[in-house]
Amino acid sequence: MSWLKAFVAGFLATLLCHQAVVGLFYLAGMIPAPPFNLSPVPPLGVPQVISLAFWGGVWGLPLWWLIRSRRRLKYTLTALVAGAIAPTAVAMLVVFPLKGLAVNPQTVLGGLLVNGAWGLGVAVLMWLIHRQRPPVFQDKGGR
């Protein structure tokens, strides 16, 4: 069940955190495309942002495996660094060349920033899912 939660956290972190940073870059005039791109993606024709969120969910699985046993600062830093580096490396070394897209220092830096935000988002969402909540009712001596 924890792995399903990790997928959902990765999916939601893409929509909430990754796309928020993309939106900031767009508003600053640093990238030409706005966030939440609804253009269909082959072969299934699903909106690009949904495809991206799906892959964010898939990436949430290994990220959760890495951070699940860490605590406090190590938990956060591992999520940030692994979230930034792993998806960016795959995008720049595999996906971009397959799509004929240019890889330059700006795209690498942008990838590290948006994916780092995604990694932090996964960490926060998984913490919210797994944190201990105080009991609603406490036993007061059998009353």
Map the chain to HEC letters. Answer: CHHHHHHHHHHHHHHHHHHHHHHHHHHCCCCCCCCCCCCEECCCCEEHHHHHHHHHHHHHHHHHHHHCCCCHHHHHHHHHHHHHHHHHHHHHHHHHHHHCCCCCHHHHHHHHHHHHHHHHHHHHHHHHHHCCCCCCCCCCCCC
Question: Residue 130: pLDDT band by 50, 70, 90 thresholds?
Answer: confident
Stretch 108-128: mean pLDDT, rounded? 97
Q: Residue 68 falls within a domain, yes or no?
A: yes
Each residue's pLDDT tens digit, 35-53: 999 999 988 999 999 999 9
Q: Residue 97 falls within a domain, yes or no?
A: yes
State the residue range of the domain holding 22. Answer: 2-130
What pLDDT is recorded for position 94?
97
Q: Residue 59 falls within a domain, yes or no?
A: yes
Q: Residue 137 falls within a domain, yes or no?
A: no
Q: Residue 138 falls within a domain, yes or no?
A: no
- Predicted TM-score (pTM) of this structure: 0.88
For the chain, give the percent of residues with pLDDT over 70. 92
What pLDDT is recorded for position 1?
80
